Amino acid sequence: MKQTNVVKYVERLGIQCDTTYNNESLFFLFIEIDDKSKSLLQSMLKRILNQRIAVLWYETNKGYHIVSPSLIGVQKWLRLVKACQEIYPNPFYLHDVIRITKKKNDGKMIFSENADTKGIYNVSDNLVKIFELKYKCKLPFPKRVKTSITYTKYEDIELE
């Protein structure tokens, strides 16, 4: 008899949302949507881009990841996380880590938009480079600065 839905634990690599620049504690915005709805993705992007920050997004195994490499202060980050939870409530995702380890059915393209037309926010060169290497592309974000990046390993459940 063939076994189905065998559960195994796998180690994943992620990036934490906290960073520093010029001795200031700042944050990246990470959003995980476990839904393939294009209208949900569009609603989320609209809300985020209205905040005038740089954004990149890509399809994942179950939905989408949205990442802002803009350096965001804690108060604005908290308001953005709250707004994202209003659009796509997910009590299990705290917006603190985004997976960078590839899964089998992840998309092969990345998309970006810079809504920071006034140049208010710096963008993490280190974070952008991670995605440029992952997707073998060049992302056109201005005001790139060197920042700290904290990697984290975590266990995830995978069904076979």
Mind listing the pLDDT tens digit for each residue in 112-149? 999 999 999 999 999 999 999 999 999 999 999 999 99
In a domain, 158, yes or no: no
In a domain, 147, yes or no: no
Q: Which domain holds residue 41?
A: 11-139
In a domain, 159, yes or no: no
In the predicted structure, residue 4 carries a pLDDT above the cut 80: no
In a domain, 150, yes or no: no
In the predicted structure, residue 2 carries a pLDDT above the cut 70: no
In a domain, 153, yes or no: no
Does this model's pTM top 0.85? My answer is: yes
In the predicted structure, residue 106 carries a pLDDT above the cut 60: yes
In a domain, 145, yes or no: no
User: Position 109: which residue type?
Assistant: M
Mind listing the pLDDT tens digit for each residue in 63-74? 999 999 999 999
Give the closest residue to 29 by CA, choosing from 75, 86, 89, 71.
Answer: 71
Whether residue 84 contacts residue 47, with contact meaning beta carbons closer than 8 Å, is answered with yes
In total, how many domains does the chain have? 1
